Amino acid sequence: MEQKKTVVLGVTGGIAAYKTASLASMLVKNGYDVQVLMTRNATNFINPIVFETLTKHKCLIDTFDRNFEYSVEHVALASVADLVMIAPATANVIGKLAHGIADDMLTTTVMACRRCPKFIAPAMNSEMYLNPVVQDNLAILKKYGYEVIEPAEGHLACGTSGIGKMPEPEELYEYIYHELAWEKDMIGKRVLVTAGPTQEAIDPVRYITNHSSGKMGYAMAKVCAARGADVTLVSGPTSIPKPMFVNVVLVTTAKEMFEAVRREAENADIVCKAAAVADYRPKYVNDQKMKKSGEQMVLELEKTDDILKYLGEHKKPGQFLCGFSMETENMVENSRAKLEKKNLDMIAANNLRDAGAGFQGDTNRMTLITRENETALPLLSKEETAARILDMILDQMNS
């Protein structure tokens, strides 16, 4: 982020307020300027000092509280907010905002935030949440442009379980990231990303796979979505949680990935094939667990479909195909050969031998190879690498 974005967090009087401290911390660590407004009741659940320590700003509570970094008016914060999130939002504050009651710092400021996106994360007992009056008030807030984040189901502080739990801070953070982290320069673009390894069964207990973690492809999907694209992610088995704001298709084998990609690529403007697809699979899959016998064993393998080659041969007009290539030697030459052979527009290559590049880590050092050029990226996080790959793709599509 070039310039710090300001997130106004509204904390109201519910037990989930303690989780909002983690959200504030996450935001600060990721470079956001965080301003916290609390209701008087919220201070019964968490001390403002927690937020003040995390955000380095005074936590405003009463209408006539002053934060001298901004001017003296209570609406001053509203004019600098890039986003407002009320988490947790009680039935009381939801009701006040829906009916124009502004009787404390939080409600007056939020009511003055007319231009920036506003999120409400209700958290309360299930019966309260499902009460038609609360539901009506949420519908009013939606009508006025607030985005309501549906509470989760689970164990509630009142001892019952049901709907009403505030989503975890990581999930709330994703809403903010999605809204603010990147410029929306991919609106209207449909992007298909593949990620992760494939698994090719030998018998019911064994399979052939590779070390791909899926992190690079998941980062591509996340950044595309945050830049406004309509994203489908076809993913082999990984341990990464499903990304939000992305249509996810889970597959296991190269064959399943082929089928899914063939279908999804029909409507894609951009295809990024970050998956590490098995090149060969066992020719015969045993129905029963294979028992050990002799000293040696030979597995007969057969070639899988080269999905990317298929896409290159069936490229739609205007479609941009980006392959990925991992090499251990002659990276540029080998990758350029794949670019030609598979009829790609670009290939993002890395060398497994480079420090910081490769499968499991959170960083990468890639070289972007087009028909005319090679651009060596520095060592970057996989997310930043994804953004640079997308910059190059957009640049190439517009040239």
**Catalytic machinery residues:** 158
Closest among 313, 333, 332 to 321, alpha carbons compared: 313
Q: Is 179 helix (H, G, I), strand (E, B) or coil?
A: helix
Report, in Å, the least distance between residue 290 CB and ligand CTP: 25
Of 116 and 348, nearer to ligand CTP (C-beta) is 348
Q: Which of 254, 331, 368, 393 binds ligand CTP (CB under 6 A)?
A: 254
Closest among 326, 324, 328 to 339, alpha carbons compared: 324
Burial of 284 (0-12, 13-18, 19+ CB in 10 A): exposed
Of 65 and 306, nearer to ligand CTP (C-beta) is 306
Report, in Å, the least distance between residue 355 CB and ligand CTP: 20
Closest among 315, 230, 223, 227 to 274, alpha carbons compared: 223
Site string for ligand CTP, 287-326 (x = CB under 6 A): -----------------x-xxx--------------xxxx
Of 54 and 192, nearer to ligand CTP (C-beta) is 192
Report, in Å, the least distance between residue 347 CB and ligand CTP: 7
Amino acid found at 105: M
Q: Which of 273, 281, 336, 388 binds ligand CTP (CB under 6 A)?
A: 273
Of 23 and 308, nearer to ligand CTP (C-beta) is 308
Closest among 244, 205, 250, 238 to 223, alpha carbons compared: 244
Residues near ligand CTP (CB under 6 A), total: 14
Of 149 and 257, nearer to ligand CTP (C-beta) is 257
Q: How far apart are CA 395 and CA 357, in angstroms?
A: 24
DSSP H or E segment with residue 195: strand 190-195
For ligand CTP, the binding residues in 321-340 under the rule CB under 6 A are 323-326, 338
Q: What Rg, from alpha-carbon coordinates, does the chain have? A: 25
Q: For the chain, how many residues are written?
A: 399
Sheet holding 33-38, edge to edge: 33-38, 6-11, 83-89, 118-122, 147-148
Rounded to 5 degrees, what are φ and ψ at 132? -55, -30
* Residue 259 lies near ligand CTP (rule: CB under 6 A): no
Q: Which of 21, 275, 366, 387 binds ligand CTP (CB under 6 A)?
A: 275
Report, in Å, the least distance between residue 272 CB and ligand CTP: 8
Closest among 347, 368, 331, 200 to 277, alpha carbons compared: 200
Report, in Å, the least distance between residue 187 CB and ligand CTP: 26
Q: Is 24 helix (H, G, I), strand (E, B) or coil?
A: helix
Contact indicator for 223, 300 with CB cutoff of 8 Å? no
Of 97 and 392, nearer to ligand CTP (C-beta) is 392
Report, in Å, the least distance between residue 324 CB and ligand CTP: 4
Contact set with ligand CTP (CB under 6 A): 254, 273, 275, 277, 279, 304, 306-308, 323-326, 338
